[in-house]
Structure 1
């Protein structure tokens, strides 16, 4: 494992790095992340000043191991729980507890530990085998004779025969993904004991070909009753192999997979979308930011559109009633809602909510219990809108949080259809 100087900073925090520690290739990678809005790189008298935006994880440069820690409510244990929930993979509970205690080694070790646990279960239950095609040249025909290759390469000689055999083998894409991920993870983690465990597990999985082949297989993966048990392991393998977490931050710039970065606002948006879907009243429908109807701005130099993270449509035989929800990865448990976010929610209310129930919601992470407060916005002599501010305690189980939303949010707003 390459020795690097460790530099730690918190999400939205900054750190000074001496000029001698950053190589030209390091600066190219950092500038690429800056172009994506993940961090900023500024030259200073002392060298380089690195400032992280809404990104956490590990970035291994040539001479520096950059560790970016979460600033807001998440601890290591709660982060892995909510990441499971957001990705719709099995959530840890008392009956199937994972050994996911987090040490100061960082987020990369958390995901690697999760991968190791799932791969250990696969080895315990036995790896899946399937028929694999192998091309052979042998004096005895076995399988399917390859006449074209025989004629073009052996020129009529029959002492050696080209043929294809089909044998049951563990060298299939499901196992290859796990094998490559274990190989990559063992050089990513900082904990020597975890690295040794990953190396041991890797000997039980095939890992032929290139890592890019495993990534391509992962992007085309489909699951059925025969391989469904591989899905949790492949979820963690994808985070490691793509080296960019949920937002795939580094995939498009060809960085090595020794780094693992996670865009926590994206995780929180995914988790809130599932919370709303799980807690919404029966018969309602939820649409996310990619599927909800757009609010359009025209007449300017260039048209633009925007929409909230989630829009809930309540069941209605005539006119639908919609309720916009926005996920905010911000510290709102001890701070007032910003003017910009208030204006944003009022726009959503105007675009989606009916006149009879002008309301929307903000959902943010917090600790020490759930909390709800109500903002009433008035202009002149009329009510412009009501904003429900809901703080979700990330130390609690997501399913319990969904149950709390069902009683604290939907029970306190009008979900009846219009008309």
Structure 2
């Protein structure tokens, strides 16, 4: 790999790049990411100004290696904990462990270390084997003789035999996709010892598939008792191969450059979705779809029909067991611990509360990240004719563990006296 200049910036931060630092191919890649609102690239007299959005990770260009660090609310040593929680993957090792030590390497090395840890576990337990059909040329008969090949390619010679075998091998899709992901992780790793470990363990897996083929195989994978232990390793492999996205969770199909970029708003939405669902479960609550017949739609305007969909729509038990209440919850990756809720978000949540309220008390919830402890406040929106609704603003301390946040959310949601 050629030496690249490392450029570091924080989430929502910016950096100046000279004309010589970006190749035409780099500019094309960055424009593609700009179109998907991952970053902004502006021309200036001395070169280029690159501004990161709510995105963290690593982007490897031809001459530059961009490192975007989390700066807003989720600290680096907690980012993997919350990411694992959002993905439903096993919790990472303690941050004091060698491979999870946070430093200048940042997010990409942590994901690579997570994949390495899971692959080492699979090797210790033994890789899964399955029957694989092979077409071989052998000196002795083994398996079934392929008469057609033998006649048309050996012309009656019997010193070598075309045979078809069906043996149990480790060369399966479950293992090949991990071999592919290990090689991708090795290209992104910045710590030499991590790169060496990834390269060493990759040799124990079958010949890797092209990344696109590996992703298609992961999307087709169905887990049974035979391959259920591969789920965690596949989760990290999918994250690496997709360049920052996870199917049906943190989707990001737009990055054409080598790298690992994570959209923090999408991560926070996934965290909130699981957080409030688990918090309401013991009280009989559950999430319901907020689209289709249950969606709030706008018709009659120019263009296509638009819709309002909350990030989570909770169905909660009421005083009457036969009557349930719908509570819309929206995840906001914003500094609502330091500033007031914006007017646009108030309007959005009032629309949700009016659309889903089953009583005369429209309610909605905003959940945002913060540091320094959990917090909540209630916004009451009134008009000359009375109350329009109330919005509870919950601030989740991202320094806390997810299970602690679940307990706090369970005590702060409406049935606790709101």
**TM-score, length basis structure 2:** 0.92
Distance 2:9 2:293 in 1: 37
Q: Is this contact kept in 2: 1:76–1:110, CA < 8 A?
A: no
User: How far off its partner does 1:354 sit?
Assistant: 2.4
User: How far off its partner does 1:195 sit?
Assistant: 0.9
Q: CA 1:97–1:356 in structure 2 vs 1: closer, same or farther (change >3 Å)?
A: farther
Distance 1:16 1:81 in 2: 32
User: How far off its partner does 1:329 sit?
Assistant: 0.6
* Partner SS for 2:100: coil
1:353 pairs with 2:357 = yes
Residue 326 (structure 1) aligns with: 330
Q: CA 1:301–1:65 in structure 2 vs 1: closer, same or farther (change >3 Å)?
A: same
* Partner SS for 2:177: helix
Q: Is this contact kept in 2: 1:92–1:98, CA < 8 A?
A: no
Residue 137 (structure 2) aligns with: 137
Q: Is this contact kept in 2: 1:8–1:67, CA < 8 A?
A: yes
Residue 297 (structure 2) aligns with: 296
Q: CA 1:200–1:290 in structure 2 vs 1: closer, same or farther (change >3 Å)?
A: farther
User: How far off its partner does 1:357 sit?
Assistant: 2.4
Distance 1:157 1:213 in 2: 38
Distance 1:317 1:409 in 2: 19
Q: 2:381 aligns with which of 352, 377, 383?
A: 377
User: How far off its partner does 1:318 sit?
Assistant: 5.2
Residue 53 (structure 2) aligns with: 53
1:227 pairs with 2:227 = yes
User: How far off its partner does 1:271 sit?
Assistant: 0.8
User: How far off its partner does 1:381 sit?
Assistant: 3.6
Q: CA 1:160–1:203 in structure 2 vs 1: closer, same or farther (change >3 Å)?
A: closer
Please, which moves more after superposition, 96-105 or 297-306? 96-105
Q: Report 1:150-299 matches (<5 A).
A: 150-154=150-154, 158-246=158-246, 247-249=250-252, 251-252=253-254, 255=256, 258-281=258-281, 282-287=283-288, 293-299=294-300
Q: Is this contact kept in 2: 1:273–1:288, CA < 8 A?
A: no
* Partner SS for 2:313: strand
Distance 1:79 1:288 in 2: 28
Residues 47-79 of structure 1 show CA distances to partners (whole Å, capped at 9, x for unaligned) of 011111121111111001111111211112211
Q: Is this contact kept in 2: 1:11–1:52, CA < 8 A?
A: yes
Please, which moves more after superposition, 376-385 or 210-219? 210-219
What residue ranges of structure 1 are gaps of 5+ in the alignment?
A: 415-419
Q: CA 1:61–1:99 in structure 2 vs 1: closer, same or farther (change >3 Å)?
A: closer
User: How far off its partner does 1:317 sit?
Assistant: 6.3
Distance 2:275 2:151 in 1: 63
Distance 1:292 1:74 in 2: 36
Distance 2:345 2:86 in 1: 24
Distance 1:16 1:362 in 2: 36
Q: Is this contact kept in 2: 1:177–1:207, CA < 8 A?
A: no
What residue ranges of structure 2 are gaps of 5+ in the alignment?
A: none
Residues 78-113 of structure 1 show CA distances to partners (whole Å, capped at 9, x for unaligned) of 11011111101112477x978422111121111011
Q: Is this contact kept in 1: 2:93–2:100, CA < 8 A?
A: no
Alignment: residue pair count? 411
Please, which moves more after superposition, 201-210 or 322-331? 201-210
Residue 309 (structure 2) aligns with: 307
Q: Is this contact kept in 1: 2:369–2:397, CA < 8 A?
A: yes
Q: Is this contact kept in 1: 2:245–2:251, CA < 8 A?
A: yes
Q: Is this contact kept in 1: 2:177–2:208, CA < 8 A?
A: no
Distance 1:290 1:9 in 2: 38
Q: CA 1:388–1:335 in structure 2 vs 1: closer, same or farther (change >3 Å)?
A: same
User: How far off its partner does 1:182 sit?
Assistant: 1.2
Residue 106 (structure 1) aligns with: 106
Q: Is this contact kept in 2: 1:98–1:114, CA < 8 A?
A: no
